[in-house]
Structure 1
Amino acid sequence: MTAKDGHAGVIPALDAQVLVAAVPGLNALARIEAESFARVPGAHLTLSDLLRLARRIEQLIGEGVEGVVVTQGTDTIEESAMALDLLLATEQPVIVTGAMRDPARPGADGPANVRGAVLAAASDRARGMGVLVAMNDEIHAARFVRKAHTSRPSAFVSAGAGPVGWTAEDRVRIPLRLSRRVHIGLPPQTEKIAAVALVTAALGDDGRALGTLPGHGYQGVVVAGFGVGHVAGRTVESLARLAREMPVVLASRTGAGETFTGTYGFPGSERDLLGKGLIPAGVLAAPQARVLLALALSAGWSATSITAAYDALSG
């Protein structure tokens, strides 16, 4: 994003070649091939876009590319990285990065983030780690990363887990390894991704919108509940009815920690909801839980396989 004549505010304007050229000494770290896949704001991306990108990355790796850096707007990095992590089975490093400050602002962080991402993509330490996010000299696993601030360069965190690594003095350090990965393979003819709604619990909400979701074509629902996975008692029956029609995943709106499965027992508690057929999201934040559910439904996964995937990503 940068300012452009005739436009108020910054817009997508820089292609891949310009981004590479803006980073001093980048070609000394690796042989860079720059490609502009799409030029849209991060907020405009869809899961279908990410599916096409995953297929392009697979093609590039098949042609001998040893690592890939994806630059995009930061609005949806946590969801894009999650989607790519699930769609790609490669051992080659795939690193997502972006910029919190546009190039015209003092302290623009884009060049440093691109450099850190290239370092990670060129490092054997990042092999087999799935898709990673490199921002502000830190390296985050796709399943844990969150955008936790609207504007600071330090916006990206791995809430509850911490970054898996970092860059310093052009060295890549990744001391933490992920225990398990999940791959969702979609048939080559798949283009449209299943529609999954994200509903957030709120004080006093009676859940009246829940009953309308099947009529709008949704095939699954993620509920961002209170705390460890709670909702108001008055919404329980609506969720139970939904769970009889489609997969309903229970996440937390807090953004850190995992959903519980057996501690609280009141109506609307996690025990109550899971007993009525909801699926626990584990450590995944609600937006990332939605990505997994949408891709899994598109691949024709059963509720049992979907439940197992959330559990696997929770370690």
Structure 2
Amino acid sequence: MAAFGSLFMPEMAISWFDGSGWSESQVVSSDSIQLHPGAHVLHYSSTCFEGLKAFRHADGSIKIFRMDQNIARFAQSAELLALPSIDAEATTAMIIEIVARFADEVPAPPGSMYIRPTHFGTEPAIGKAAVPSLTSCQYVLLSPVGDYFAGGDKALRLLVDDQGMRCPPHMGMVKSGGNYAGALRPIMKARAEAQADQVLFCPGGDVQETGAANFLLIDGDEIITKALDESFLHGITRDSILTLARDRGMKISERALSIDELLERAAKPGCEAALSGTAAVLAPVGTLIYHGKEYPVGNGGVGATTVKLRQALNDIQWGKAEDKHGWLTSI
């Protein structure tokens, strides 16, 4: 099986903004984009994207999970980056059109079709470092993916970083490529020096998120996670997991969490931690590494509550449980 997200459908949906309006969406070859070397995105990173999935149900139908929320966040990212506003209705139609076109290629569970809407500034103007691009492009790319945990469900190791930050505080809620690029070097260093899988960014001791996922601490029947603000990504999987946890009577505490409290709670028997995101849904965390010392989370293994919450969300996505919250869109 190809590495997650490295296999693509041969065609994509695309639309261009010429400064006054969006063109009609077209289906084109996935390798057909041509850009002027002075394009705004190549010099000033005027780009945002989304990640969502389509799932095949047992009856053969195809459902997209929480598309409305992804499109709302896509529009928000474009606004915060001063990119031309997207047309939410047209973007929805683009996604549905291209997924329907490749419906037969949507894998059966535990696989899915990963959907990547992308928006970037195209204006050829290298003198516009402090001025937004007047023109842009939007496309929807598809990537069939298999089981994220095909190699086995293992508890991750996180390096707790109290000095650096994933991105500038006002950019955290923007799903932009630059945020991920900025986190790469610290992640690579953590892997090389501490054999960590990811970095948990905690500037000033404030527990925020990792380079590519939201962080949740699960202490008994309580989930503790940072309250939403502009400093970190407002994860749709995070919101979904918290909603399902509330449905099960768990207490949700969205508030500040210090490193000291994190380490104190993590030492308790039965405590769990997890990372939430579109790809893995909910990945268990077994070890925290802070100032050269390792701290196991609970028993250091895969937590039972983490697995149960992930399965509950998967069951809705795969059509094995009732969609009580109206999260699925039919194709």
TM norm structure 1: 0.28
Structure with the bigger percentage of helix: 1
- Structure of higher RCO (CA pairs closer than 8 Å, 6+ residues apart): 2
